[in-house]
Amino acid sequence: MKTAGPLLQGRNLLVKRGGIPVLDISDFTIMKGEVLSLIGPNGSGKSTLLLTLSSLLKLYRGKLIFNGSEIDSRRSELDYRRQIAVVFQDPLLFDTTVLENVASGLKIRGMEKKDRTRIAEECLERLGIAHLAKRSACKVSGGEAQRTSIARAFATSPTILFLDEPFSALDPPTREGIISDLSRLLRETETTAIMATHDQMEALRLSDRIAVIQQGKIAQMGSAEEVMNHPVNEFVAAFVGMDTLLTGSVLESQNGRIMIAVGNQKIEAVGNFPVGEQVLCCIRPENVTLSTDSPEEQSSARNNFSGRITRIAPHGLFYRVDLDCGFDLISYITRTSLDSLEFQEGQTVKASFKATAVHVIRKSA
Ligand SMILES: Nc1ncnc2c1ncn2[C@@H]1O[C@H](COP(=O)(O)OP(=O)(O)OP(=O)(O)O)[C@@H](O)[C@H]1O
């Protein structure tokens, strides 16, 4: 991530849609060269924030500061819009050739035909669609149309690229190819980008930082590692896949190690919380290991429990195994592991996880 200073800042932003406040953000900053993803549930305000930052939605209150200057007049807004590009889920292509679509932004900016054709051809090449240059944009596939849309955005060398759910309508292999090319292009051109997405994997692949949006506010903004492994509250923890969330009370606290009472069980974790503090233990399912063997003999993890399997269900490429260990614990295992361990619902197994795998949040947070 480049840290060449703030590029776009939002202060005290309030946006209403249909007369109702849907966005309320006191402070937002993206640095030059940074790639930021906005994630959050449906209706949380990701698109609204993206449209607001790209000045396509009016502010009810607050201000946007671009490169140190406030966008506070029609002139500064137009100047800002000339420096940004927006890619939507629906590519919205003109009924002309792919090449002319990619060159269209440069034409609007008054660039001569020879120059804009050269730049558009370069962009088509970089997006792997040079062979489509003369094809009608109405006769390309969804993936090719989105590549055209991204090439059109890059052709104008935007200072900030905004992407609103750019891959949602694409099948997984097509999406994978475009994400890979976009990621490379963003790094090569050092373009600052903000992307709204439903897909946390997309966010992890492309971003320097991730902002989690909750009911029109930024619940947390940080590196992928911070957000995924150190969520600030229960909402973020649940949203980023900390499937096990356990309320407990700190029993012992010494030298950065804590023992937490959860029901009749004790969980060891890392942290500095006073004895008696009510906390939430968050555990990612992929950090819970299951076995049929005695964990005392086999596992170096500090937390070892016997648990009865209450449910086994497919979960993407994995199987989700729900356990009753005196508290509810969730683990993901592969099909191969499930087959070789021959787990069945109702069976008692051993579950292990490290003290460092338990993220602890103050309950009131
Ligand atoms: N054109 C509109 N008129 C009125 N309200 C709107 C409009 N568009 C969105 N909203 C409301 O604004 C809030 C935020 O919506 P927004 O589309 O920004 O959320 P989102 O996180 O992008 O959702 P999704 O993931 O479903 O696209 C929601 O309450 C939504 O109902």
Q: Tell me the pLDDT tens digit for each residue of 143-194.
A: 999 999 999 999 999 999 999 999 988 888 889 999 999 999 999 999 999 9
Residues 149 and 75 grouped into a single domain = yes
Residue 2: pLDDT band (50, 70, 90) is very low
Asked whether 43 lines ligand 1 (CB < 6 A), one says yes
Average pLDDT over residues 231-256: 94
Q: Could you tell me the residue range of the domain that residue 209 belongs to?
A: 6-237
CA 216 vs CA 24, 30, 88, 228, 240: distances in Å: 6, 18, 20, 20, 17
Read off the pLDDT of residues 64-122 as tens digits, 9 standing for 90 and up.
999 999 999 889 999 999 999 999 999 889 999 999 999 999 999 899 999 999 999 99
**Ligand 1 pocket test target in 14, 25, 44 with most atoms within 8 Å of CB:** 44
Residues 39 and 163 in one domain: yes
ipTM of the complex: 0.97
DSSP code string of 272-322: ---TT-EEEEEE-GGG-EEESS-HHHH---SEEEEEEEEEEEEETTEEEEE
**Domain end residue (candidates: 184, 208, 237):** 237
Q: What is the pLDDT of residues 15-56, one digit of tens each?
A: 999 999 999 999 999 999 999 999 999 999 999 999 999 999
164, 32, 191: which is closest to 86 by C-alpha? 164
Q: Is 162 found in the same domain as 96? A: yes
Separation of 101 CA from ligand 1 center, angstroms? 29
> Could you tell me if residue 357 is inside a domain?
yes
Total number of domains constituting the chain: 2
- Per-residue pLDDT band for 296 (boundaries 50, 70, 90) equals low
Give tens-digit pLDDT for 189-236.
Answer: 999 999 999 888 899 989 999 999 999 999 999 999 999 999 999 999
Domain assignment of residue 355, yes or no: yes
What pLDDT sits at residue 292?
A: 87
Q: Do 223 and 250 lie in a common domain?
A: no
Same domain, 225 and 184: yes
Tell whether 316 and 348 lie within a shared domain. Answer: yes
CA of 45 to the centre of ligand 1 (A): 6
Across residues 322-351, what is the average pLDDT? 93
Please indicate, yes or no, whether residues 25 and 131 belong to a single structural domain of this protein: yes
In whole angstroms, give the CA distance from residue 7 to residue 358. Answer: 36
Confidence of residue 301 (pLDDT cuts 50, 70, 90): confident
Ligand 1 atom with the smallest distance to the CA of 216 is 14
Q: Is the CB of 46 under 6 A from ligand 1?
A: yes
21 lines ligand 1 (CB under 6 A): no
The mean of the pLDDT values for the chain is 93
User: Is 287 near ligand 1, meaning CB less than 6 Å away?
Assistant: no
Please tell me whether residues 154 and 254 are part of one structural domain.
no
Q: Which of 237, 264, 286 is the last residue of a domain?
A: 237
Q: CA-CA distance, 151 to 13, in Å (whole number)?
A: 31
Residue percentage of the chain with pLDDT more than 90: 84
23 CA distance to ligand 1 middle (Å): 10
Q: Does the beta carbon of 45 sit less than 6 angstroms from any atom of ligand 1?
A: yes
Residues 227 and 268 in one domain: no
- Give pTM, 2 decimals: 0.90
Please indicate, yes or no, whether residues 212 and 85 belong to a single structural domain of this protein. Answer: yes
Q: Whose CA is nearest to atom 29 of ligand 1?
A: 43
Among protein residues, the one with the nearest Cα to ligand 1's atom 12 is 22
C-beta of 19 in contact with ligand 1 (< 6 A): no
Task: Decide if 260 is inside a domain.
Answer: yes
319 assigned to some structural domain: yes
CATH number at residue 287: 2.40.50.100
Q: Give the distance (Å) from ligand 1 centre to CA of residue 115.
A: 39
CA 95 – CA 100 distance, rounded (Å): 9
* 152 & 210 share domain: yes
82 in any annotated domain: yes
If one residue of 13, 16, 22, 163 were mutated to test the ligand 1 pocket, choosing by the most ligand atoms within 8 A of its CB, it would be: 22
Q: From the CB of 22, is ligand 1 less than 6 Å away?
A: yes
Find the CATH number of the domain harbouring 194: 3.40.50.300
Atom 23, ligand 1: residue with shortest CA distance: 43
257 and 225 belong to one structural domain? no
> How far does the centroid of ligand 1 lie from the alpha carbon of residue 88, in Å?
15
Q: Whose CA is nearest to atom 10 of ligand 1?
A: 17
258: in domain: yes
The answer to whether residue 68 is domain-embedded is yes
Q: Is residue 1 part of a domain?
A: no
Q: How many angstroms separate the alpha carbon of residue 293 from the centre of ligand 1?
A: 50
Of 237, 266, 299, the residue that ends a domain is 237
Q: Considering only CA atoms, which residue is closest to atom 16 of ligand 1?
A: 45
Q: Whose CA is nearest to atom 2 of ligand 1?
A: 17
Read out DSSP for 246-267? Answer: EEEEEEEEETTEEEEEETTEEE
